[in-house]
Amino acid sequence: MAVSGRFARFLVAGGTGFVTDIAVLSLLLEAGLPSLPARLVSIAVALFVTWRINRRLVFAAPGRGSLGEFLRYVGVGASTSLLNYAVYAGLVALAGVRPLPATALASAVALGASFIGYDRLVFRAKARPADD
């Protein structure tokens, strides 16, 4: 499968994570949690969901994950989540954008950085089958 196929699967995984992010954020906002702390929780839940999907379906990492792989995933995920959160917070706090549209925009900004980080730093090419 070519990189474009892997990227397409990454978009599906990211879409699933995005739906998870929005669902958790919506529930927390409805429960009365302020938008900025609620987003921290929703990002963490979405990060876990996408890790499971990326590991199995996108980057096809064989066998059990190592502690090193997990720590790299958390590092890349934390970095791109900080980027995502910074854009979100700026849009909500400074530009007055509503939380759900701000989530969509912030997630789009972090998308490319996430793919590159996961592909190059977490699920290295030697750990997955060769691309077609």
What pTM value is reported for the model?
0.74
Predicted pLDDT at 131? 46
Total structural domains within the chain = 1
Q: For the segment 31-80, what is each residue's pLDDT rounded down to a tens digit?
A: 999 998 998 899 889 888 988 888 888 887 666 667 777 788 889 999 99
Asked, for residue 54, whether it belongs to a domain, the answer is: yes
Query: In whole numbers, what is the pLDDT of the chain averaged over residues?
Result: 86
Asked, for residue 132, whether it belongs to a domain, the answer is: no
Host domain of residue 52: 3-127
Asked, for residue 45, whether it belongs to a domain, the answer is: yes
CA distance linking residue 110 with residue 93, whole number of Å: 19
Q: Which residue has the higher pLDDT, 132 or 80?
A: 80
The token pair that represents 50 in the structure block: 């996408």
The answer to whether 41 and 28 are in contact (CB under 8 A) is yes
Asked, for residue 75, whether it belongs to a domain, the answer is: yes
Predicted pLDDT at 81? 87
